[in-house]
A and B are shown apart, each in its own frame.
Chain A
Amino acid sequence: MADAAVLGAARPPPARFERPSALGFLAWVIALALIVTSLDGVGFSPRELVSGLPNMGRIIGEMFPPSPARLMPVALALLETFQMALAGTVLGVLLSLPLAVLATRHLTPHPLVYHAVRGVIALFRTVPDLVWALFFVAAVGLGPFAGALAITIDKIGFCGRFFAEAMEEADRGPQEALGAMGASRASIVAAAVIPAALPSFVNTTLFALEKATRSSVILGLVGAGGIGIELQVSMDLFRYAEASTIIIAIFLLVVVVEQASAWLRRRLIQ
């Protein structure tokens, strides 16, 4: 009885759902309106999707069995695609490391440097790699070099940001200890910050390589080398069996890179 009295006197439980404020309600309405207008803007039509299904079926039917006719050129183009991804990622990672140090709030030599470098990294990250590829094709000509440069710039933007964040989150204790014993800024970065941020660096680098492998396929479509151009030609000439060989090759490359990267991640991050 006493317990019931105590329970009765207790405060009622909080509401399951919070009633949105007027501003919150308005935000919901705007978000919903954006989604609806976007669907309308792209001309989303379930009827056209359904009427296109037979075409899709026909194309997929023509893709099988895959054609082994141009296996060697496809293999070479695939190798070139991977080389572009690897070279671009390695260059991007190497160049992003010093930039990331300058873009780390407590390691940068001056706030102006911090803001300038953060700006450059943001520019590299926000402009899509396809746009960089168009720029480099115009600058250095068609071929994988332009593609590798585009990937390099994209990876500087990607790794620069995540490396800087990893260094900002690194435990300050060891850094303070090295500073207290008179170590220089460079020594603190090399001996305390980078070892602490290394797992994150490895993760980001391997993810960047996976991302670069996928994007290097697309870069070929604008003439920046790799297997993308092979796929485009096959599709344009309605050689769907050949296209399916290329798609399977791309799929295998991406899977191999992802598996290798997962294995490396397990080995390196302990």
Chain B
Amino acid sequence: MVAVAAARAEAPPAPVTCAAGTAELRVDGLSKRFAGGAAVLSDVSFAVARGETVALLGANGAGKSTLLRCCLRLIEPDAGRIRLLGSDPRALKAAELRRLRARVGFIFQRHNLVPRLPALSNVLHGALARGGGMRAWFHEAAPRALRTEALECLDRVGLAAFAEHRADRLSGGQSQRVAVARALMQRAEMLFADEPVASLDPAAGEEVMELFRDLVRRAGLTLVFTTHNLRHALDYADRIVALRGGRVEIDAPSRELDQGALRAFYG
């Protein structure tokens, strides 16, 4: 396995090809350099098939978070092509881009809930871009159908009883589950999770990863997550893409890799 990693480390792989029409995300030759700094991404190519779970690995500064953000144009890439859910985010106008973003749930390391609002309002925000508009600002103003759906999303992550609890009074694990419920409220087809368990204790982290696995299996979601936890990458991902210095160094099915190979990659 180490040999596989070493071989891949020596020669960056060609872009993974998915059967036509099944790639939810395809990135070709993506590059990004921030003003006055070194290149964060250099000619990055990879693809994610529908229903696949992909783990992005790499040391701090390897470009994992930038890569996810570029895919949604939260950060503007300098070069390269992106195909996300059948659209090219770089070619979309503002309103079209918002509609595309609404189809992708983004889970942040620090969950990024609105702290003073109850969990239910935070989940309801998932409907903001899919026509919820003003009615999805606060649960008090939302119609019954939206409130019911938001409560169901909370129930799916096991937090229906916490609907009226303020987000800033929830534990880290609970907050991250509310963030997942918010993505479910989006009716997202795909999830990006940027180090979703990095700020959680091991037990809460495991709970959140199990929740992801459950969602992928039951709802057929596609998941791309970044992590430093090698065991999570091997246990929960179908495929592992590892970045070093903004370049893809490993792109292989997780069953072909082991902890030793990944540790060797981290050096």
**B106→A195 contact, CB < 8 A:** no
In the bound complex, do residue B133 and residue A195 qualify as a contact, i.e. CB atoms below 8 Å apart?
no
Which listed residue (A177, A183, A184, A199) contacts B112, Cβ 8 A?
A177
Contacts of A152-200 to chain B: CB distance below 8 A:
171, 173-174, 176-184, 187, 190-192, 195-196, 198-199
Bound CA span A191–B138, Å: 7
Contacts A179-B74, A182-B98, A190-B137 given; indicate if A174 touches B129 (C-beta within 8 A): no
The 0/1 profile, CB within 8 Å of B marked 1, for residues 47-70 of chain A is 000000000000000000000000
Minimum C-beta distance from A68 to chain B (A): 48
Q: Given A177-B106, A178-B125, A190-B134 in contact, is the A184-B98 Cβ separation under 8 Å?
A: yes
Query: Which one of B98, B100, B113, B138 contacts A183 once the chains associate, using CB atoms below 8 Å?
Result: B98
Q: Are B106 and A178 in contact (CB under 8 A)?
A: no
Beta-carbon contacts under 8 Å, A134-167 to B: none
Chain B residue nearest in CB terms to A194 = B137
- The range of chain B's interface size is 20 to 34
Bin chain A's interface residue count: 20 to 34
How far, in angstroms, from A199 to B166 measured CA to CA in the complex?
15
Candidate in A171, A178, A198 with the most chain B CB atoms within 10 angstroms:
A178
Let me know if B101 is at the binding interface, CB within 8 A: yes
Check B137 against A180 for contact (C-beta < 8 Å). no
Mask for A185-222, Cβ within 8 A of B = 1, else 0?
00100111001101100000000000000000000000
Query: How far is A196 from B100 in the complex, measured between Cα atoms in Å?
Result: 27
Docked complex Cα distance between A154 and B137 (Å) = 31
Q: B10 → chain A, closest Cβ, in Å? A: 36
Cross-chain pairs A/B with CB under 8 angstroms, 27 sampled: A173-B112, A174-B112, A174-B113, A177-B108, A177-B112, A177-B113, A177-B182, A178-B128, A180-B74, A180-B104, A181-B125, A181-B183, A182-B98, A182-B100, A182-B130, A183-B125, A183-B128, A183-B129, A184-B128, A184-B129, A187-B128, A187-B129, A187-B136, A191-B128, A192-B125, A195-B115, A195-B116
- Which residues from chain B sit less than 8 Å from chain A, CB to CB? 72, 74, 97-102, 104-106, 108, 110, 112-117, 121, 125-126, 128-130, 133-134, 136-138, 179, 182-183, 186
What 8 A-B pairs have minimum CB-CB distances, sorted nearest first? A182-B129, A182-B101, A182-B102, A177-B112, A182-B98, A173-B112, A183-B128, A180-B106
